[in-house]
Amino acid sequence: MGAVMSFIINYFIVPVPSTVLGNALNHTITGIISGFMGGFMGLLMYFFFQKKKQKQ
């Protein structure tokens, strides 16, 4: 969802590079990567705290 919103906002409101489509695609790819990394880190933290609870 974040990638779609980033694409829409950057395509219609904030076109910075020479081509608007290039800017929107760059932000879409960045949004996908950051979303994946955020989810991955959240999953790692979840597993870490679940292990910690089981030891107690």
pTM of the predicted model as reported, rounded to 2 decimal places: 0.60
User: pLDDT value at position 2?
Assistant: 67
In the chain, how many domains are there? Answer: 1
Spatial distance between the Cα atoms of 33 and 17, rounded to a whole number of angstroms: 20
Question: From the centroid of its chain, how far is CA 25?
Answer: 13
User: pLDDT value at position 37?
Assistant: 81
Mean pLDDT in consecutive groups of 10 residues from the start of the chain, 56 residues: 70 70 78 83 93 86
User: pLDDT value at position 20?
Assistant: 78
User: pLDDT value at position 14?
Assistant: 63
Instruction: Write out the residue range of the structural domain in which residue 19 sits.
Output: 2-55
Go through the chain and tell me how many residues it has: 56
